[in-house]
Amino acid sequence: MILQDFDIQVASAQHVDYAQQICDEMAESAKARGTGIAQRSPEYVANKMLEGKAVIAFHKDGTWAGFCYIETWSHGDFVANSGLVVSPQFRKAGLAKAIKQKIFELSRTKYPNAKIFGLTTGLAVMKINSELGYEPVTYSELTQDENFWEGCKSCVNYDILTSKERKNCMCTAMLFDPAEKQKEYEDKMKKITHKATLLERIENAIKKRIGQDHD
């Protein structure tokens, strides 16, 4: 089984019938990990599909294979890629990473100025996030939207979160800040330009010296 065996696409109205199956698999996956996730209803998941804020994957034989959706917080200043799930029979094929890449690109297209964040206990997800440009951050750098934190109530670790006044928990917080990434890019280009200018000056100095030697 290889990644080319799957079709990953932006979900739409034609996929709403898969909402119940997706929710069931999310719950089973959370139970298997021994952690909680913000539980979502099939109606909620279906609505994400209708809004064009979800990505769905199918095996080439037509079987549902994976899913992920976008949530917005703080009036669109923050975006989370939530509910990433892959059907057990299709794991270990690199599908989770491919879905994460697709939902990340969709998020950047729909909300180019938003900070994209995630809370996770999974090392595999942390690795994927790092490759996409996320950085580990403190919880204070995430959205402070109460509705987001309400979603943590269904997690088995919610008591830990509240006892620590939402400063930290079992999850690692990760953030992609487009403004920060743009600054990093500009700084990198400045260094490249500076190196090129310095090299040019050195080359000119060498040419001048060679010219003087010939004189």
* Average predicted confidence (pLDDT) for the chain: 89
Strand arrangement of the beta sheet that strand 78-86 belongs to: 6-10, 54-59, 64-73, 78-86, 115-120, 172-176, 135-137
Q: What mean pLDDT do residues 181-205 have?
A: 82
pLDDT at 141: 93
pLDDT at 36: 56
Provide the β-strand partners of residue 8: 57
| Chain segment 37-69, per-residue pLDDT in tens | 567 899 999 999 999 999 999 999 999 999 999
Confidence of residue 28 (pLDDT cuts 50, 70, 90): confident
Three-class SS state of 60: coil
Residue 78: pLDDT above 70?
yes
Three-class SS state of 36: coil
Taking a C-beta distance cutoff of 8 angstroms, is the pair 66, 96 a contact?
yes
Residue 89: pLDDT above 80?
yes
Three-class SS state of 76: helix
